[in-house]
Amino acid sequence: MATGFGGWCFASGQCSSGQYAGPFALAKNASDVLVLRIARPSEAQALTELAIRSKRGWGYDERFMELVMPDMIVHPEYLLTGRGIVAEDSGTVVGYAIVKVDGKRAFLRDLFVEPNRQRRGIGKALFLKALCYALRMGVELLTLSGDPNAVAFYERMGMRKVGEELSRVGGGRVLPIMALDLDPVAIQSAETSVDISIADE
């Protein structure tokens, strides 16, 4: 296990102030090379389309997708007022995350990975980048309102369910509200769960 996280977040839990680094060679498939970088506002439409594909991967029907569509749209201002993180493989965007900081709290608005690239460590890498950014900004609590199907993933990342909110879909559907207290120990614990090898810059 490497001791650094792309020159950004280290096993000590401290995050550096450098640019996002890469490439990252995913241990589960040595042919994959993942590069994480800051998302650009001009990519908002492409990220929206990626989010829709990822959401459909849960098997939701067209009516459901129509109802949740307002929540799927990535507006350019989200990438200006928050921190967008993009994962690329050979120049192709395969996932992204958006985190918004508000004082001592941060909200993970989005974390989506292309359906055919899931379960390969990309979501974990994006989550950790979001954690490191939030920690560097002085955040003490990270929260999100997510898809029920993603609860197990976020629990593996150290988050806990703290409540529920009604979904815009209606019919009694509720969305889990999850939280994670941010401190160096929490970051280190999450980092060690990611099985990736990190290439030197």
* Sequential pLDDT tens for the chain (201 residues): 222 233 333 233 334 433 333 334 343 443 457 889 999 999 999 999 999 999 998 889 899 899 999 999 999 999 999 999 999 988 899 999 999 999 999 999 999 999 988 888 899 999 999 998 999 899 999 999 988 999 999 999 999 999 998 888 777 789 999 999 987 555 555 454 443 333 222
Task: Tell me which CATH homologous superfamily contains domain 4-194.
Answer: Gcn5-related N-acetyltransferase (GNAT) (3.40.630.30)
Q: Which of 79, 90, 10, 92 is nearest to 45 (CA)?
A: 79
The tokens 């090379």 sit on which residue? 33
CA distance to 75, 112, 119, 169, 187, per residue, from 158 (Å): 29, 18, 17, 28, 9
Q: What is the pLDDT of residue 27?
A: 36
Which SS3 state, helix, strand or coil, does residue 22 take? coil
Q: What is the pLDDT of residue 32?
A: 56
Domain borders along the chain are 4-194
Q: What is the pLDDT of residue 91?
A: 87
